[in-house]
Amino acid sequence: MKDVKTPVVKRSLFSWVLPGNITLQVLIVFIIMITVSTRVLPLEMQKRIVNEAIRLRKIDLLYLYCALYLGAVIFASGLKFLINILQTFISQRALANIRKELYHHILTLPLSFFRRTQPGMVVSSLISELTTSGNFVGMAIAVPVTNVLTLLAFAGYLFWLNPLLAAISVSIYPMVLFLIPLLQKRANNANKRRVDTARGLSSRIAETITGIHEVHGNGSYHIENKKYDTLVDRLFKIRIIWTLYVQGVKVVNNFFTNLSPFLIFLLGGYLAMTGRLELGALVAFISAQEKLYEPWKELIEFYQVYQDASTRYKRTMEYFDALPDYLLKPEDRKPYELEGSLEVKDLSFVTEDGIQLINDISFSLKPGEHLALVGFSGSGKSTLAQCLGQLYKYTGGHVLIGNREVSDLTKSDMVHNMGFVAQAPFIFNGTIEENLLYACSSVVEEDGDKRGDSMPDLDDMIEVLQQTGVFVDVLRFGLNAILVHDQHKDLVSHIIRVRENFQRDFGEELVDCVEFFDQDRYLYHSSVSENLAFGTPNRESFADKNLPHNKYFLEFLDEADLTRPLLSLGAELSKQTVDILGNLSPDKVFFEQSPISPDELDGYKQLVERLKEKKLHQLSAEDRAKLLELALRFIPGTHKMVGLPSILEELILEGRAMFTDKISTDDPGAISFFHMSDYIYSQTILNNILFGKTKTDRPEAQEKIDQSMIQLLIEEDFLETIVEIGMQFQVGSKGDRLSGGQRQKLAIARAFLKTPRILIMDEATSALDNKSQARIQNQLDTRWKGRSTVIAVVHRLDITKSYDRIAVLKAGKIIEMGTYDELIGRKGALYELVSGKK
C-alpha cells in the first residue's frame, strides 16, 4: 500500500528536526561530547596553577598548565564554531524546505480561500513568521544537548570539588523552573496576539498598495491612514506586553543565577578561611559556578525561542490548514485526453456564506461548438465559466467533459485539455516569451519533457502573436532594444547591412519623413550640439545638457571661433521668443517653435532686459552659459522662430570636423560617431537602421516609416530575429510595462498557443478596442470553429451572431438558449438586451 504523505500543515515543528538531518545531528552530538569534556579541562588547570605551580613556585608546571589551558580553550572554540556551522546549515535547509512545501500547498488551495486572504498575509507568513521555526530546527538538538551535558559536566565537577557548596549552588534552580513557565505561558498568549495582529497589518498594507489607484483617485488618504494607525497602535500595545513578559523571564533567571555566587562567596570564603577548602579549589569552584550560568542561560533562551517558534509555526499552519478542491495529478495513469464535448446537468453553486450564484443550469455542447454566455452584471456568467473550468467547485449537479465528471478529474487532466482566459488576466514578471509559453510550459513539465521537445517553436509563437494583434507591439519592442557592446557581432553586422539597404531602397521615398545622417551635410532636424558632436555621448559629461558647462567643450568652441556666434544665436532666440510669446499664456503649443520652455520664459525675459544694457562680453558667466545652452539646443527644422545664419551653418560643419579629430585624439571613447559602417551601441536597433531623425511626428509619416521598415526586414529575412529580441522584453511586475490591451492580447495568445480542446474566455476581450475585438472574434470563427469547443462570456452582444448558441442568464439561471436568429425572433431576453444596447 502506498504511503500517504502527511500534508505540510499537519506536520509538527519537531517533524522537521531529524528527517534528512540524522547524519548531521549525530555528528553534532559527537562533537558536542568532545567539546563539553574539553571545556572542563581549563577549570582543573586553574586549580592546579594555584595549588601546584604558584604555591610550589614551579615555573615548568606553570608553563605546562597554561599551555594546556590555552590549547583546551582554542580547541573548544574551534569545535563550537563547527557546531554553529552545522546548526546553521540544518536551520536554513529546514527553513527552505518548510517554505517550499507550504508555498506548494498554498498554490493548490481553492480560489475561495484567496478571496478572503490578502497577499500580504501570505507573504508575511512565508517570509517572516517561519524564520524562527527554521532557526529552532537547527538548534533543536545542538543547543539542549550542548547545554545539558555542559550543566551536568560542570555540576559533576562542582560536587567533586565540594559537595556542600555544589548542593547550595544548584538549590536555586528548582525555584527558577517553577516561576519561568508561569511567566512564559503569559508571554506565549501575548505572542499569539502579536502574530495575528502583525499578520493583519501586513494584509492591510498589501490591500492598500494594491488599490493605491483608488486611494489616489478618491483622495482617501485619511481613511487608509486611520485604518493603518489603529492596527499599528494595537500592535504597539501588544508588543509592549509581550516584551515585558519575555524580559520578566530573563530578569527572574538573572536574579536567581546571580544569587548563587553570593552564597558561594559567603560559605566558600568561610571554608577557605578556616582551612577546610583549598584556595585553588575555591578559585576553580567559583569559575565553574560562573560557567554553570552560561548553559543555563542558553537553555532559558532556547526555551523562549521554542515557545516563540512553536506559536508562530502553529498559527501559520492553522491558517493554511485547508485542502485543495481537486487532486493535482492522477496517481496510476497519465492525464486523460478528453474529447471536447460538454454536458451540464442541474448545475448549482453556493458560496461558503450560503449565497446561491448559479442554480439548475443544464445544456450540452458537441466537440467544436461555440457557446456565448450573456446577461446582465451579476447574472452568474463568470461563475458558470469558472465552475466549468474547475476554478470553483460546484456544489450540486454535474459537469461532464468527454463523458467524465469534472469534479472527479485532477488538475492535470484539466490542464491538458482546457485553456482559460480571464477578464483581467495576470501577466507575470519576466519576458513576453516566458508569459507566452506559460500555459504550454506547464503541460510540458508535467509530462516530464525537460528538453522541451513538445514546446511550440518560433513560427508557432509568431503565428499567435499575429492572430491576436500583439505582433506589431513585440516587433516594436525588438526594434527599441539596445544591444550590449561587443556582443551579438553577427547581429550588428546584419543591422549595418540593413541600414545601408534601407537608405538605398527607401531614401528617396522617405525624404519628406526622415533626415538621414550625412557627415557632409547640416542636420536641420538635429540640435546644434548634435550637429557639432555628430554622434552620441558615452560619457555623462558630454551629454547635451552638460555641454554648456563642459570645460573641454567650451575650450573647443573658443578654438573653433564658435563661442561668439553661438552666443549671438542664443541672444537672438531669447529676444524673438520674448517679443512674440512674452505676453501669451504659458501653453506648450505656443512654444513648440522655440527652444525656450514656458517655465524658462521669465528667466529669459530678465536676461533680455540685461542684454539691452550690456554687450555679450559684459554678461556674467551664468548669463553666457544660459545663452550658449539655448543655442546648442536650437533645432532649425523645429524652432522656426529664428533662422540659422548660413555663415554659422558653415562654421558648425567645419567645427564638426575639428571636434571629431580633436576628441578622437584626446578621448577616443567619449563619443560614438555617426559613421555608416559603425554600430551605435547607445542607440536602439530602430535608430541604428533608420540612421537619421524623423522630420515630423504625424501618424501617417510614422506609419509610412514603419511599413518601409517591416518590408525591408522581411526582404532581408531579419523580421524573425527582431521578433525574437522583442520577445525578451521584460514586462515588469504584473505586466505593468504593457498596456491593458497588450496584457489581454498576450493572455489570449497564451491560450491560443496551447490549442486546447476546450477554451473558456471570461470577457477576454473587454479591454480591447473594437478593431482588436473583431480580430480575435474572426480568429475564433475561422480557426477555432469545429476545432475546439469555446465557451465565451461576452460583453458585446453584436459579436454573438457568429456563435453556434447563446445562453442568456439571469439571477444564476439560463432563461433562454438558442442561435442568435432564434432568440431575436422570439423577442425574449436577448432581444431586450440587444434593444437596450442600441
396-401 and 404-405: which strand pairing?
A: antiparallel
Is residue 817 scored above 60 in pLDDT?
A: yes
Confidence of residue 4 (pLDDT cuts 50, 70, 90): low
**Per-residue pLDDT at 175:** 64
The mean per-residue pLDDT over the stretch 471-490 comes to 86
308 vs 530 pLDDT, higher one: 530
The answer to whether residues 373 and 384 touch, using CB atoms and an 8 Å cutoff, is: yes
The mean per-residue pLDDT over the stretch 702-713 comes to 87
End-to-end CA distance of the chain: 65
Which contiguous run of DSSP H or E holds residue 604? Answer: helix 601-611
**Per-residue pLDDT at 253:** 63
Is residue 795 scored above 90 in pLDDT?
A: no
Confidence of residue 838 (pLDDT cuts 50, 70, 90): very low
The answer to whether residues 747 and 432 touch, using CB atoms and an 8 Å cutoff, is: no
379 vs 251 pLDDT, higher one: 379
Is residue 490 scored above 80 in pLDDT?
A: yes
Beta carbons within 8 Å of 688's beta carbon, 6+ residues apart: 495, 496, 499, 679, 680
Confidence of residue 229 (pLDDT cuts 50, 70, 90): confident
The answer to whether residues 547 and 553 touch, using CB atoms and an 8 Å cutoff, is: yes
Predicted TM-score (pTM) of this structure: 0.76
Is residue 248 scored above 80 in pLDDT?
A: no
Is residue 159 scored above 80 in pLDDT?
A: no
Q: List the one residue out of 494, 493, 515 whose CA is nearest residue 503.
A: 515
The mean per-residue pLDDT over the stretch 741-765 comes to 91
Beta carbons within 8 Å of 409's beta carbon, 6+ residues apart: 326, 336, 390, 401
Q: How crowded is residue 558: how many other Cβ atoms within 10 Å of its Cβ?
A: 10
Q: Residues 538-558: pLDDT tens digits?
A: 888 898 888 888 899 999 999
Per the prediction, the chain carries an average pLDDT of 84
Q: What is the phi-psi region of residue 275: left when phi exceeds 0, alpha when psi lies from -120 to 50, beta otherwise?
A: left
679 vs 1 pLDDT, higher one: 679
**Per-residue pLDDT at 641:** 83
Q: How far apart are CA 197 and CA 415, in angstroms?
A: 38
Q: Residues 301-326: pLDDT tens digits?
A: 787 788 888 888 888 888 888 888 88
**Beta-bridge mates of residue 350:** 356
Establish how many alpha carbons lie within 13 A of residue 705's alpha carbon, considering only the half-sphere containing its beta carbon.
Answer: 24
**Per-residue pLDDT at 397:** 93
The mean per-residue pLDDT over the stretch 32-39 comes to 82
As a residue count, the chain comes to 838
Is residue 233 scored above 60 in pLDDT?
A: yes
**Per-residue pLDDT at 746:** 93
Q: How far apart are CA 309 and CA 295, in angstroms?
A: 20
Q: How far apart are CA 665 and CA 265, in angstroms?
A: 84
Q: List the one residue out of 784, 807, 793 whose CA is nearest residue 760.
A: 793
Q: How far apart are CA 235 and CA 169, in angstroms?
A: 41
Is residue 39 scored above 50 in pLDDT?
A: yes
Q: Considering all CA atoms of the chain, what is the largest pairwise distance in Å, rounded to the nearest integer? A: 121
Is residue 837 scored above 70 in pLDDT?
A: no
Q: How far apart are CA 251 and CA 676, in angstroms?
A: 79
Q: Residues 661-693: pLDDT tens digits?
A: 999 999 988 898 999 988 888 889 998 999 998
Sign of the alpha-carbon dihedral angle for 310, 311, 314, 316: negative
Is residue 292 scored above 70 in pLDDT?
A: no
**Per-residue pLDDT at 268:** 60
Q: Residues 72-130: pLDDT tens digits?
A: 888 888 888 888 888 889 888 888 899 999 998 888 888 888 877 777 778 888 888 88
**Per-residue pLDDT at 282:** 58
Q: How far apart are CA 23 and CA 20, in angstroms?
A: 8
Quote the radius of gyration of the chain (alpha carbons, Å): 40
The answer to whether residues 704 and 385 touch, using CB atoms and an 8 Å cutoff, is: no
**Per-residue pLDDT at 2:** 47
Sign of the alpha-carbon dihedral angle for 176, 177, 182, 183: positive
C-alpha cell at 447: 509530462
DSSP-assigned states of every residue in 412-437: HHHHHHEEEE-SS----SSBHHHHHT
Sign of the alpha-carbon dihedral angle for 567, 572, 573, 578: positive
Q: Which of 391-395, 567-571, 608-612, 697-701 has the lowest mean pLDDT?
A: 697-701
**Per-residue pLDDT at 399:** 93
Q: List the one residue out of 84, 77, 70, 80 whose CA is nearest residue 41.
A: 70
